[in-house]
Amino acid sequence: MTQPRWRLSAALAGCLLTLVLLSAPGQSGADALDLPDFGSSADTVLSRAEQRDLGREFMKWVRKSLEVSTDPLLTDYVQALGHRLVRASRETSGRYDFFVVEDPRINAFAGPSGNIGVNAGLILSAETESELAAVLAHEIAHVSQNHLLRRFAAQKQMTVPATALLIAAAVLGAAVDPQAGAAALMGAQGALVQQQINFTRTNEEEADRIGIDTLARAGHDPYAMPGFFKKLTQANRVYESGAPELLRTHPVTSDRIADALARAERFGPNQKPDSLRFHLTRAHLREQSYNRAEQAIDHFRDTLRKDRYRNETAERYGYARALARAGRLDAAAKQLAPLLEQHPSQVEFLVLQSQLDRRRGDADKAVRDLKGTVGLAPGNWPLQQAYAEALLDAGKPAAALATLERLIGLRPDIAPVYGLMADAAGKAGEQAAAMRWRAELLFRSGDLKPAIRQLELALRQPGLEFHQAAKIQVRLDELQAEEHRREAKR
């Protein structure tokens, strides 16, 4: 039996708790778990800027503790699904960011400032797109109703970084990096934090009510929410390591399932077909869950031979990806060709074809094939990044940089793109621009001071044109003002 290639961390939440204690000088042990008084709404105590700070600090710990996917195809699909739900909801406003965690456990979580993570294991366990949408809608409701922040109401003040650290320790539980901090505290302290983070029955019922309404308004099956949680509860008895992580932080009772079913009945069933992207995303995750490419090849070859799949197109896509990972490029292209013929504009197929061409040493073909398509989809992250990567391989870094600059002009919050932009600028001989985009990547990863240093270095580059210097100076002023504001709050 093959094993997933994701590595599971064995550290305890106490690692992060220890850091909270170390980062809060002057606090006694009794005060170590105190958090800001958020009240019934985060806006009553924290400004929007402070909420963004809390979200960035939280995500910094998430990235240190978990394997957050930077794959454009996976992330873009989850973001597209999540934002469709946000637009359909009656209750939501503000910023939401959805991301995939490469972890086989069944879990999803909501953090400060609308950061919502979903594990690969949960996506693979969802048999329909409505089931996946149900979990996202539920987490969106937790954010919109400030359930996470309300759990820490009526506490004393604490710095935003320390608050984010404690929330991360509580939300992520045992899934923290063993190198994240000092020695773990006693298990009882970890249990105390977990008790604080678990949502109450009232929270869960409210998230169910709002989530089911959102599902129905978005065109998904409202029965998917009680159905998925019931399925997880029934499967619980066969899990060797106990309940799925999702059930640990979102306790499910028979009464809660019954209430959710009653709410779903008000809307009636909506058995809409799953999108092709849902099936392709699951095939993508299934393929990369195997340690070795040959294991993935055996899996997809076997399911195709026995007709054991939910969607043949997606199964052949997974097979093509496995062949490509094994270096069997001609075989992968043979599997991909009919898929492209049937779905000539499908982003997953276009990106894989571009990758195959580049690996064969024909980056110019990849550029030609994508050129027309990217012009019709200026905000499509996977396509624009694939085009920029092909341009880089074809020895055209300036054109690659221009492509990515147009993309972030439309979608400035796609953090991974900034690293590619810095690489393209460096290869184009534009060192100041490389430092500018590296600074942006650092800032969006929560590293404000290093970002400021990069911009200061960029301004010292020889031969810097006036308009470039002006843009860098404006951004430097913004980040320095941000630093001063944060320091004033400490």
Do 318 and 332 meet the contact criterion of CB atoms below 8 Å apart? no
Residue 302 exposure: Cα atoms within 13 Å on the Cβ side:
6
* Catalytic member of 57, 102, 208, 348: 208
* Catalytic member of 50, 102, 131, 139: 139
Residue for token pair 């594990």: 119
Amino acid symbol at 105: R
What would the two tokens of residue 54 be? Answer: 């809390």
Say whether 413 is catalytic. Answer: no
142 is in an annotated binding site: yes
Rounded CA separation 382/94 (Å): 25
**Phi, psi dihedrals of residue 2, rounded to the nearest 5°:** -80, 150
What DSSP state is assigned to residue 290?
Answer: B
284 is in an annotated binding site: no
Determine how β-strand 115-119 pairs with β-strand 97-101: parallel
Q: How many helices (H) does the chain have, and how many strands (E)?
A: 24, 3
Do 348 and 277 meet the contact criterion of CB atoms below 8 Å apart? yes
Do 295 and 323 meet the contact criterion of CB atoms below 8 Å apart? no
Do 394 and 354 meet the contact criterion of CB atoms below 8 Å apart? no
138 is in an annotated binding site: yes
Contacts (Cβ under 8 Å, ≥6 apart) of 426 = 434
SS3 223: coil
Q: 3-state SS of the chain: helix, strand, coil percent to 5?
A: 65, 5, 30
Distances in Å between the Cα of 327 and the Cα atoms of 283, 317, 386, 411 are 19, 15, 19, 33
Say whether 208 is catalytic. Answer: yes
Sign, CA dihedral 212-214-220-225, equals negative
Rounded CA separation 286/290 (Å): 7
Do 439 and 475 meet the contact criterion of CB atoms below 8 Å apart? yes
Q: Which residues pair with 118 in a beta bridge?
A: 100, 108
Amino acid symbol at 79: Q
What would the two tokens of residue 252 be? Answer: 């499910």
Rounded CA separation 93/112 (Å): 14
SS3 98: strand
Entry field: residues in the chain: 490
**∠ CA 343-217-91, rounded to 5°:** 125
Rounded CA separation 401/142 (Å): 39
Binding positions for Zn(2+) are 138, 142, 204
Active-site residue numbers?
139, 208
